Amino acid sequence: MASPAARTAVPPALLALAALVLVLVPAAAAAACSAADRDALLSIRAALTEARLGVFSSWAGTDCCAGWYGVGCDPTDGRVADLSLRGEAEDAVMAPAGRPASGVMSGYISDAVCRLGRLSSLVLADWKQISGPVPSCVATDLPYLRILELPGNRLTGGIPPSVGGLSRLTVLNLADNLLSGPIPGSITTLASLKHLDLANNQLTGRVPADFGKLAMLSRALLRRNRLSGPIPASVSSMPRLADLDMSENQLTGSIPDGLGSGHVLTSLYLGANRLSGSIPASLLRNSGLGILNLSRNDLDGAVPDVFTPRSYFMLLDLSRNRLSGGVPRSLASAAYVGHLDLSHNRLCGAIPAGPPFDHLDADSFCGNTCLCGGPLGKCT
Ligand SMILES: *[C@@H]1O[C@H](CO)[C@@H](O)[C@H](O)[C@H]1NC(C)=O
């Protein structure tokens, strides 16, 4: 019978290997922070003020890759790859800000950010008081950027014109700021872009005509700006577009024919613009579309009678247009219509009977020319 010592004895070759691993692993695991990147971070910090939470209190010592809050490095070379500070995050540093956490930071985004040449994500979100421009060098000096999120601040000035040069960008979120000027035409060259959120700014001018070139784009949120001109026809051919929100702008012209003819579009918000013409049948025929809000436009013509038993609308708001004709008969065959609003149009005739209508009240139909039946009472 072998002694306990013999049983635990380790072959010398394995011991040598273990020693080798012990020597190599620490070196491979954590290259210390690049000194130039650390200097850039300190300049970024110097331009920002956050007093209450001490978000920057961990930014001390020489190794910015070791425990600096919001800083992430490439372990192989110690270059800063991520800078991510969210004013509404749920973590230990943000906990004193309450629940939901809500921090405040003022100051501006230093050009020094552009010296972090290996940055893959730059997130300074929901700090409410960060002002000044989006440094235009971000678009030219940070070619590895995949995520650029600066929403919920008080940023002014324009979107950097050369933003289209950020060929790896997948997320561009500048929502809820005070940005003005146009959506740069170069944006349509962002071949990897999946998520674009520019909502709640003061952007003017047209949506670039070749917006539809953004073949990977799945969410396009442009709500509440001052965009004018037409909805580009090219949006009809975006293979992955699931959510499109262009509401509360000054868009004119008609809704492009064929919009929603693919099956990935799930929500479309175009309310409170100046859109005219009729509602494309392709939209209402699309059984994947669950939210459609076209209210507060100048749409006319009849509501296309193309609903099917596979139609499933959480929200269908066509109110406050100039739609005429009757309530489409086929709508009665829809699988589900949660919130329907056809009020304040020029509709006429009997409201069809059927399950989708049973739970609706008069508000859904009021302010039309001569609708009757259902919640509006008997047709005479
Ligand atoms: C539809 O959009 C308009 C404009 O954005 C908005 O005022 C309205 O509340 C929306 N309708 C619903 C039911 O959310």
Compute the distance from residue 278 Cα to the ligand 1 centre, in Å.
Answer: 19
Q: How far is the CA of 316 from the centre of ligand 1 (A)?
A: 10
- Give the number of the atom of ligand 1 that is nearest the alpha carbon of residue 269: 2
Q: Which amino acid is at 213?
A: K
In this structure, the number of other CB atoms found within 10 A of the CB of residue 316 comes to: 27
Q: Please enumerate in sequence order all residues whose Cβ is within 8 A of that of 134, keeping only pairs 6 or more positions apart, or say none.
A: 109, 150, 155, 157, 159, 160, 174, 179
Distance 295 CA to ligand 1 centre (A): 7
Ligand 1 atom closest to the CA of 293, numbered from 1: 1
- What is the reported pLDDT for 17? 53
User: Could you tell me if the CB of 273 is within 6 A of ligand 1?
Assistant: no
283-288 long-range Cβ contacts below 8 angstroms, 24+ apart: 283/255, 283/259, 284/311, 286/260, 286/261, 287/263, 287/311, 287/312, 288/263, 288/264
Q: Which atom of ligand 1 is nearest to the CA of 248?
A: 5
- pLDDT classification of 11: cutoffs 50, 70, 90: low
* Residues β-bridged to residue 197: 173, 221
CA-CA distance, 126 to 108, in Å (whole number)? 13
User: Who wins on pLDDT, 301 or 21?
Assistant: 301
Which residue's CA is the nearest one to ligand 1's atom 6?
271
Model pLDDT, residue 1: 36
- Please state the φ and ψ torsions of residue 117, each to the nearest 5 degrees: -65, -10
Domains of the chain: 29-151 (3.80.10.10)
What is the per-residue pLDDT for 328? Answer: 95
d(CA 316, CA 350): 19
Q: What is the mean pLDDT of residues 109-122?
A: 98
Strand partners, 317: 293, 341
Tokens, residue 376: 């509006």
**Rounded to the nearest whole angstrom, what is the distance from the C-alpha of residue 272 to the centroid of ligand 1?**
8
Whole-number average pLDDT of the chain: 91
Helix (H, G, I), strand (E, B) or coil at 317: strand
Q: Determine the distance separating the centroid of ligand 1 and the alpha carbon of 136, expressed in angstroms.
A: 35
Mean pLDDT, rounded, for 50-68: 92
Predicted confidence (pLDDT) per residue in 61-83, tens digit:
999 999 999 999 999 999 999 99
Rounded average pLDDT over 302-310:
96
Instruction: Supply φ then ψ for residue 357, to 5 degrees.
Output: -95, -15
Nearest residue (CA) to ligand 1, atom 2: 271
Interatomic CA distance for residues 167 and 117, integer angstroms: 14
Report which DSSP code applies to 117. Answer: T
